Amino acid sequence: MSYYDEAESRLKTLQRRGEATVLSIETSCDETAAAVVKNGRQVLSNAVYTQIPIHRKFGGVVPELASRNHVDQVGPVVESALEDAGMTLRDIDAIAVTGGPGLVGALLVGVSYAKGLAFATGKPLVNTHHILGHIAANYLTFPDLVPPFTCLVASGGHSHIIEVADYDRCVLIGRTRDDAAGEAYDKVARVLELPYPGGPELEKLAAQGDPHAVRFHSAFNEGEGFDMSFSGLKTAVINYLQNAKQRGETVNRADVAASFQFAVNSILSDKAVRAAVENGHGTLALAGGVSANKNLRQMLDQKAQKRGIRFCCPDFKYCTDNGAMIGSAGFYLLMAGHISDLSFNAVPYLPIA
């Protein structure tokens, strides 16, 4: 029997049962991650090896270094995930892997490894979208959360407002026209001389500042549409710092950080809550690395509550890249029959809708 025929016959059994234990692999950027997740909701293990210390000295992710470190780490991380779950490959029903979007060399490491495991075991392989994974981080945190709902995805590579119509079906409502929110956080953090990754460092500095000290504003975001733009805010911060330097004035960096954070988070939260209202959704979820930002979580919670909308955001350990979120998204794709043969490739730019 060919690999695909065997995988398809196993898929049918799993769909009949409605149950599956999924081994997931995520290597889209600078985290080598693997997890074992049961039925899309129960995390049996979640192993993450972060490359942040390696990239920090360069002020950002160096793609070639990321790929090489994934090659070194993917085997041990998968082994840890299985060991922590008290399982072997025999106990696993299917394998899910992030196929995109992300850094192509980094993605290829996980995809090749997952294909090898699938071929060796004959188990179904699920090519999983990274953003679907971030959204699914909410299923791990809220057992009762089911589509449809509105989701704001804000990460280093994406800022999307999405209608999650079903586990395997998303409609893009709005997106950034330029920088992603996390990217803007990282770039502004760099001009404030904070280490990489800048988002969490900027949040710490902002906690000591006044969010209303400086008004960083961007006209584009005042429209009624759901698209967003963050590069203007980043330029406004750079201009503010340069003007102050030319005038010989000292700048309160914490005030700048707090004011920038307030501006970005106001745009994200206003647009996302309005999208949920217009979609007629009773629930708004947050996902992606920037969902770890406490100020954003609070703003969304308050604004959603005022409109009678339930707000969900992932547990902190599932906010930034991890394997468990891919295991959850992979389970639902599996149940809907989305399995792959061994010919698919990693795709760096992969639309969600």
What residues line the site for ligand KG4 (CB under 6 A)? 29, 155-157, 182-183, 185-186, 197-200, 203, 288-290, 292-293, 320-321
Partner from Zn ion, ligand KG4, none contacting 147, C-beta within 5 to 8 A by type: none
Interface with Zn ion, residue 229, by CB under 5 A: no
Among residues 144, 146, 129, 141, the alpha carbon closest in space to that of 28 is found at 129
Partner from Zn ion, ligand KG4, none contacting 163, C-beta within 5 to 8 A by type: none
Buried b (16+ CB within 10 A) or exposed e, 284-297: bbbbbbbbbbebbb
Distance in Å from the first CA to the final CA of the chain = 34
Partner from ligand KG4, Zn ion, none contacting 293, C-beta within 5 to 8 A by type: ligand KG4
Tell me whether the omega of the peptide bond preceding residue 348 falls within 30 degrees of 0, making it cis. no
Interface with Zn ion, residue 26, by CB under 5 A: no
CB atoms within 10 A of CB 206: 25
Which residues neighbour 267 within 8 Å (Cβ) at sequence distance 6 or greater? 218, 221, 228, 230
Q: How far apart, in whole angstroms, are the C-alpha atoms of residue 290 and residue 163?
A: 19
AA letter at 290: V
Partner from ligand KG4, Zn ion, none contacting 290, C-beta within 5 to 8 A by type: ligand KG4
In the bound state with Zn ion, the residue whose beta carbon lies nearer, of 237 and 329, is 329
Smallest separation, CB 95 to ligand KG4 (Å): 21
Smallest separation, CB 202 to Zn ion (Å): 18
Interface with Zn ion, residue 321, by CB under 5 A: yes
In the bound state with ligand KG4, the residue whose beta carbon lies nearer, of 279 and 322, is 322
In the bound state with ligand KG4, the residue whose beta carbon lies nearer, of 209 and 288, is 288
Q: How far apart, in whole angstroms, are the C-alpha atoms of residue 33 and residue 26?
A: 5
Smallest separation, CB 12 to ligand KG4 (Å): 33
In the bound state with ligand KG4, the residue whose beta carbon lies nearer, of 204 and 245, is 204
In the bound state with ligand KG4, the residue whose beta carbon lies nearer, of 115 and 297, is 297
Contacting Zn ion (CB under 5 A), which of 73, 155, 265, 279? 155
Residue nearest to ligand KG4 (CB): 289
Smallest separation, CB 65 to ligand KG4 (Å): 16
The sign of the CA dihedral 82, 83, 85, 86 is positive
Residue 55, classed as helix, strand or coil, is helix
- Using an 8 Å Cβ cutoff, are 168 and 329 in contact? no
Q: How far apart, in whole angstroms, are the C-alpha atoms of residue 317 and residue 308?
A: 27
